[in-house]
Structure 1
Amino acid sequence: METKNVEASNVVGLDEEPKDFFIERDGERFAGTHLIIDLKGASRLDDLKFVENTLIECVKRSKATLLHIHLHHFTPNGGVSGVAVLAESHISIHTWPEKGYAALDVFMCGDSEPHNSIDVLKEAFGPDEVLVDEIRRGKEIDGKSVE
């Protein structure tokens, strides 16, 4: 099991004023974009350090802020499960290397660009197929923000 913390300079301060990180896109206001990503026919899903570095690259290319990353390596199949906690929300991963399958959730709010993580995952794991579903979380209800 591996736990990694980032330097304090990258962590959002508790004394900062609260900000409204809701997004306005295509005439719609919502909390964030949640991508449900399935990788099929993927490789290197049992390489803990490679998975960690790939998640870190997803964070960088998505213009997000990494707060903490925690991954667990299972035996005997070598699967990896874990989460990168972001100031903008999270990226989670669960892998089944014996099946060549990985399930990821990429949820980000604010000015981040979560779709950029898709290319990182394709480059890193070389899947035969990538399935992506997108959900806009926290849509306004009756003209009021969900809080």
Structure 2
Amino acid sequence: MQGLHLTADLHGCRCAPVWLLDAAALGQACVAAVHAAGLQPVGQLFHQFPASQHGPGGVTATVLLAESHLCVHTWPERAAVTLDVYVCNFGADHSDKARGLMDALLALFQPAAVHRNALMRGNAEAGS
């Protein structure tokens, strides 16, 4: 179960509005980024939230990976996004691929400010 879990909170995203508002477009971009990073998508779910009194509805894009998952949540009324990339390193170390995927998504959203976290999960020794 050892792996790398990356998260990022993006603020002041200067990307094209489509990436914050359109579930299908964001989903396609996520799957393309997963492939480009060398990871294997095995499932996906993209959901468009309805507009509310606070503004247009955001999007959640989830890509299930053979290595674990990618999840993106957008808040267009705040020009904000949260990113979550987790890769299990069972059988091979996918950490560099996870970092590449995160970097590609940061480039897509063009945030003015980013708060990033990296957590090494699990223990390499069995039974720990």
Q: TM-score, normalised by structure 2?
A: 0.79
Q: Report Cα offsets for 1:9-67 as digits up to 9, x if no partner.
A: xxxxxxxxxxxxx6xxxxxxxx1100011111113311223311221133123311100
Give the 5 Å matches for 1:4-83.
Answer: 31-42=2-13, 43=15, 44-76=19-51, 77-83=56-62
- Aligned-partner Cα distance in 2 for 1:53–1:118: 16
Identity of paired residues, percent?
31
The reply on whether 1:126 has 2:116 as its aligned counterpart is no
Return 5+ residue gaps in structure 2 as ranges: none
Return 5+ residue gaps in structure 1 as ranges: 1-21, 23-30
Indicate the structure whose relative CO is greater, using CA pairs within 8 Å and at least 6 residues apart.
2
Amino acid of the residue matched to residue 135 of structure 1?
Answer: L
Relative to its length, the structure with more helix (as a share) is 2
Q: Report Cα offsets for 1:63-101 as digits up to 9, x if no partner.
A: 111001101101112200131001100001111010011
Amino acid of the residue matched to residue 44 of structure 2?
Answer: I
Query: Which residue pairs with 2:101 in the alignment?
Result: 117
Compare 76-85 and 94-103 and name the one that shifted more: 76-85
Q: What SS is found at the alignment partner of 2:30?
A: helix
- Aligned-partner Cα distance in 1 for 2:32–2:127: 32
Structure 1 contact 54–120 (Cα < 8 Å) conserved: no
Residue 145 of structure 1: CA displacement? 4.5
Q: 1:117 to 1:145 in 2, by over 3 A?
A: farther
Q: What SS is found at the alignment partner of 1:64?
A: coil
Structure 2 contact 23–60 (Cα < 8 Å) conserved: no
- Aligned-partner Cα distance in 2 for 1:71–1:81: 6
Length, aligned pairs only: 115
